[in-house]
Amino acid sequence: MSTGTDREILALRAAYAVMVDRAPAAPEFEDLQRGLATNQRPGRPLGWRPVLDRPLVRMALAAAAIAVVVVPILSSGPSAVAAMEEARGAFERLSSFSATLAGRQDGSIVGAETSPGTHVADRLFRQDLWYRGDEGWRVDIIEDTVPELSGGPGSQAIWDGNELNAYRADENSYTIADNVEGGFGPMHLLDPNNATWPIFGGDVRTSDDYFEQECRVEPDAKVAGRTTRHLSCEAGRIEIWLDVETGLVLKSRSELAEHEVTRFEFEPEFEPGTFEFIPPSGATEAEEAADDPYRQVALAPNEAAPLWEGRLLGGESPIGLSGLKGKPTLVLLWADWCEPCVMDALPRFAELHTALGDMVNLVAVDVQGSEESAAQIVADAAFTFPVVIDDGCAGCSLPGVSDAWSVESVPIWVVLDTDGVVVEVLLPRDADTDRLVFLLTNQG
């Protein structure tokens, strides 16, 4: 007689036996080489280009997460595009460095991904960085005028190749995570694939088209003693300096943000223990709050979700959760200033909207955002699902979403059943499209 666990394992094995049996032949190496020569995948007539998405190097200083977007590269183009491509290519080969960087940021850019409503003015910060690829990296906070974002001076984050240790000096506590997902790392301002967006105020203007049309290459300049390519965009409103040898963004400047590497050492000898985290005396291990979806919203599984009201984008009349009963409901909590929301969550939400149509209610709530920005995003992408603006409305008698559900971070996916009872709250990490469809279509 088999135990329950045996039964599940047997079922899994049986399923894999079928799948493995159906596996096609692997492509021939010669075909792959031919594909490389013609820049096409075997059997794919359409133009295809490799996307240089270096394993993303990110870390989680718990309160200040900025996710990363990888920009595809054109194989040729005008000089600013070529300079970006050159930088990204050099960045791919980057092995190690140590650096000190200083910066200033305004608005809801820094740390905003996990803390809607954290709007900072003139945040000044300085950090020491050590980087040895996926094997290890470290950020020490030397100075931060908005310490709630990083933990303030003395805080640090160390990735030792296996674990990420994030220490907050202001709370004398640290968290340990086994991955680097969902946070910002030493590359958050330096990676030429994504680092330019903070200076753009969260707008997605890092496409090749943008660089081709808006930017030109100035004469090379020195930053921290290093030779850099200097790009000037939008008639000098935005400037970027790219290290020729490593591709790193050593300096950037716009009205919204700026940073500059003041000390840079390429391929240094690291002191032993550089990437080893030793908890300071008296420090306590904090629970990884950011890892628990039910700490990001005041919702509990199998309990009725508190009701809220908002107004539909472009309208004034109230729309509320109470009107969404009778079908399973998917609520996406997003924000117009949150790049992962706009780049990843909304397009997938649109796919679900198309696929599931009338079977479920789908509502995307722009949490504490600006109606103007939301309207722009929706118009640009021609989204057709309902978008709720969470800034109160004249006829509303109930609180808005962010108050009713105490939303701590975005994007968050919430699945409700036909009675408005919480089925599951999902962080981006767990919100596979598969999983969402399963939860929405396998209720009761």
Partner 1 sequence: MNADADIYGKHRDDLIRYATTLVGPDDAPDVLSTVVLRVLSKGSLSDLSEPRPYLFRAVLNEARSTLRRRRPQWTSSEEDSVSESRPDPEVLQAVLDLPARQRAATYLVYWEGFTMEETAHLMGTRSGTVKRYLHLARNRMRGALDEHWY
Using CB under 8 A as the criterion, which residues of the chain lie in contact with partner 1 when the complex forms?
4-5, 7-9, 11-27, 29, 32-33, 35-36, 41-44, 50-52, 92-93, 162-163, 178-179, 344, 348, 430, 432-435, 437-438
Smallest separation, CB 186 to partner 1 (Å): 19
Smallest separation, CB 129 to partner 1 (Å): 23
C-alpha neighbours within 13 Å on the C-beta side of residue 161: 8
- Distances 96 to 133, 171, 312, 338 between C-alpha atoms, Å: 6, 31, 49, 30
- Distances 284 to 139, 147, 165, 291 between C-alpha atoms, Å: 20, 19, 12, 17
Q: Are strands 361-366 and 387-389 parallel, antiparallel or unpaired?
A: parallel
Beta carbon nearer to partner 1, 2 or 284: 2
DSSP bridge partners of 311: 318, 389
User: Can you tell me the distance from the alpha carbon of 334 to that of 378, in angstroms, rounded to the nearest whole number?
Assistant: 13
Beta carbon nearer to partner 1, 18 or 235: 18
| Residue at 299: amino acid letter | L
Smallest separation, CB 112 to partner 1 (Å): 23
Smallest separation, CB 430 to partner 1 (Å): 7
**Do residues 151 and 291 make contact, with C-beta atoms less than 8 angstroms apart?**
no
Beta carbon nearer to partner 1, 13 or 122: 13
Smallest separation, CB 407 to partner 1 (Å): 24
* Tokens read off for 318: 């109230």
Q: Which residues fall within 8 angstroms of residue 223, CB to CB, at 6 or more apart?
A: 241, 243, 250, 251, 260, 261
Smallest separation, CB 357 to partner 1 (Å): 16
* Tokens read off for 260: 């500059």
Smallest separation, CB 292 to partner 1 (Å): 14
User: Can you tell me the distance from the alpha carbon of 361 to that of 320, in angstroms, rounded to the nearest whole number?
Assistant: 12
C-alpha neighbours within 13 Å on the C-beta side of residue 349: 32
Beta carbon nearer to partner 1, 218 or 432: 432
Smallest separation, CB 53 to partner 1 (Å): 8
Beta carbon nearer to partner 1, 359 or 379: 359
Beta carbon nearer to partner 1, 32 or 381: 32
Smallest separation, CB 153 to partner 1 (Å): 31
End-to-end CA distance of the chain: 31
Beta carbon nearer to partner 1, 312 or 437: 437
User: Can you tell me the distance from the alpha carbon of 197 to that of 182, in angstroms, rounded to the nearest whole number?
Assistant: 17
Q: CA geometry: angle at 291 spanning 378 and 199, to 5°?
A: 45
Beta carbon nearer to partner 1, 37 or 235: 37
Beta carbon nearer to partner 1, 35 or 77: 35
Q: Which residues fall within 8 angstroms of residue 348, CB to CB, at 6 or more apart?
A: 431, 433
Q: Which residues fall within 8 angstroms of residue 45, CB to CB, at 6 or more apart?
A: none
Beta carbon nearer to partner 1, 16 or 294: 16
Smallest separation, CB 439 to partner 1 (Å): 10
DSSP E strands: which ranges in 153-273?
A: 156-159, 164-168, 173-177, 215-223, 226-233, 238-243, 249-253, 257-266
Q: Which residue has the tokens 């919430």?
A: 414
- Please give the distance of CA 400 from its chain centroid, rounded to a whole number: 25
- Please give the distance of CA 385 from its chain centroid, rounded to a whole number: 23
